[in-house]
Chain A
Amino acid sequence: MAWIAERRRQSRFETVVLPHLDAAYSLARWLTRNDTDAADVVQEACLRAFRYFDSYREGDAKSWLLRIVRRTCYDWLERNRPAELVPLEAEDDLNGPARPPPVAVDAGSLLESRSDLRHLDRLIEALPPQLREAVVLRELYELDYRQIAEVTGVPIGTVMSRLHRARSALRRRWERKG
């Protein structure tokens, strides 16, 4: 009766994973910056998660799901908007670089966000995805550095330096218009 096992597995998956669907969607929404794309990515991520479900061990289901959603987002961006995935330089610089990070948006939306700088959410969207996700996971999900490192698959030192860079960039743009 393989179908019973499969049905149980599906049922358990829904119990463990679906409570975190809002968190999954929100992360995908921040990374894709678009409702439709976020929904598609989350659906794909959930199917992936279901296939990997045997590798899930009791524990932090939310981080586990977010890691898969994030990975799916990056795969999706690579396929659909490779220009947004610019590698960050000087990743290991713990003391934080003085230079502004590269901004992966077109001139139009940059202009728009300049004319309306009070809108911090637009400024966050204008950050490169690696910095954007660090800010979102820290400030909105309130994850600690270790959890952010786990979700994003980078060392804790890198999490620190990305957060520093992201905040510096946001402050420069946000405070400029006062």
Chain B
Amino acid sequence: MQCEEVRPRLDAYLDDELAETERALLRSHLESCPDCSPEIAALKRLRDGIRQAAPDYRAPAELRSRIRFALRREAGVSAPIASRAPGWLAYAASLLLAVAIGSGGTFLMIGDRQEDTIASEVIDSHLRSLLATHLTDVASSDQHTVKPWFAGRSDVSPPAVDLAAEGFPLIGGRLDLIAGKPVPALVYKRRQHVINLFVLPASRGDRPETLGRQGYNLRRWDEGDLGFWAVSDASPAELTEFEHAFRAATGG
């Protein structure tokens, strides 16, 4: 094989795109030719250089959330269906829903219809808040700013505590709408993850539980007459850690 036949095939040789016979011909030429062997060496150097120099771009967590939310809206299911239908019908629908999509995701039934509706709405609110236009109404890590802000705005007064020392800095607070009622949401961060903590009237006084849905994790617990719903794409373990830190700081 002559150099002028080899040169145009060097890229394909490097990329392992030649048929075996052609590849063998090139290999033997490259082993002996003082002009062509530096060429293939330079191409390999370039490849190594590119792989080292190229930044490893990864989709931000916030984009993932944004897309999930946009998909839900596109699929026409952003409004929780169960909350619109009355009584037994809603229950039947939520059962059906769980069966229908059980294969595709990490949808967990809560068992209790009302709880389930709240879980859906809490996740919807979490997603809405991630659209960045409405993460906080009051942005502050100071509990003496955040807590009074809710006074008169909602039925329950949330115990706002900064948990920066435990790795969950308080970002602020927001008034959200759950089951048609204004509900305080405290906003925390865990590294790049946003944690929304919704504070509702206590519902069952049961032990805490963790639920996962569509890539989001939900940790709920009751404390006195308040019910807490923490939702995030942080891991279930981190949400449990969050619950413990929050309860320790609020004396629960």
Q: Which of B42, B52, B63, B214 contacts A171 (CB 8 A)?
A: B42
Chain A's interface size range is: 35 or more
Please give the distance in Å from A93's CB to the nearest CB on chain B.
10
- A18 CA to B215 CA, complexed, in Å: 11
- The reply on A81 being an interface residue by CB < 8 A is no
Taking A42-B63, A138-B15, A170-B46 as contacts, is the C-beta distance between A7 and B101 under 8 angstroms? yes
Q: Which chain A residues (42-96) contact chain B, with CB distance < 8 Å?
A: 42-43, 46-47, 50-51, 94-96
Q: Which chain B residues (58-80) contact chain A, with CB distance < 8 Å?
A: 58-60, 63-64, 66-68, 70-72, 74-77
Please give the distance in Å from A95's CB to the nearest CB on chain B.
5
Main secondary structure of the interface of A (DSSP, over half): helix
Please give the distance in Å from A39's CB to the nearest CB on chain B.
5
- A164 CA to B101 CA, complexed, in Å: 48
Contact status B96-A1, CB under 8 Å:
yes
- A11 CA to B50 CA, complexed, in Å: 37
Contact status B105-A26, CB under 8 Å:
no
Nearest neighbor of A162 in chain B, beta-carbon distance = B11
B-chain residues with CB within 8 Å of residue A94 when the two chains form the complex: 8
Contact status A11-B59, CB under 8 Å:
no
B-chain residues with CB within 8 Å of residue A47 when the two chains form the complex: 70-71, 74
Contact status A7-B42, CB under 8 Å:
no
- A121 CA to B100 CA, complexed, in Å: 47
Chain B's interface size range is: 35 or more
Nearest neighbor of B72 in chain A, beta-carbon distance = A10
Contact status B104-A4, CB under 8 Å:
no
- The reply on B17 being an interface residue by CB < 8 A is yes
Q: Which of B50, B53, B59, B104 contacts A25 (CB 8 A)?
A: B59
Contact status A139-B51, CB under 8 Å:
yes
- The reply on B25 being an interface residue by CB < 8 A is no
B-chain residues with CB within 8 Å of residue A145 when the two chains form the complex: 12, 15, 17
Contact status B59-A4, CB under 8 Å:
no
Chain B CB within 10 Å — which of A7, A24, A46, A171 has the most? A7
Nearest neighbor of B99 in chain A, beta-carbon distance = A4
Nearest neighbor of A148 in chain B, beta-carbon distance = B15
Extra contacts, 4 of them, besides A136-B54, A145-B15 (Cβ < 8 A), are A18-B68, A42-B63, A160-B12, A171-B43
The 7 closest A-B pairs by CB, nearest first: A11-B104, A25-B59, A120-B53, A10-B75, A26-B57, A29-B57, A21-B59
Q: Which residues of B contact A (CB under 8 A)?
A: 8, 11-12, 15-17, 42-43, 46-47, 49-60, 63-64, 66-68, 70-72, 74-77, 81, 96-97, 100-101, 104-105, 214-215
10 contacts between A and B (CB under 8 A): A10-B77, A14-B104, A22-B57, A24-B59, A30-B57, A96-B11, A120-B54, A139-B47, A145-B17, A164-B11
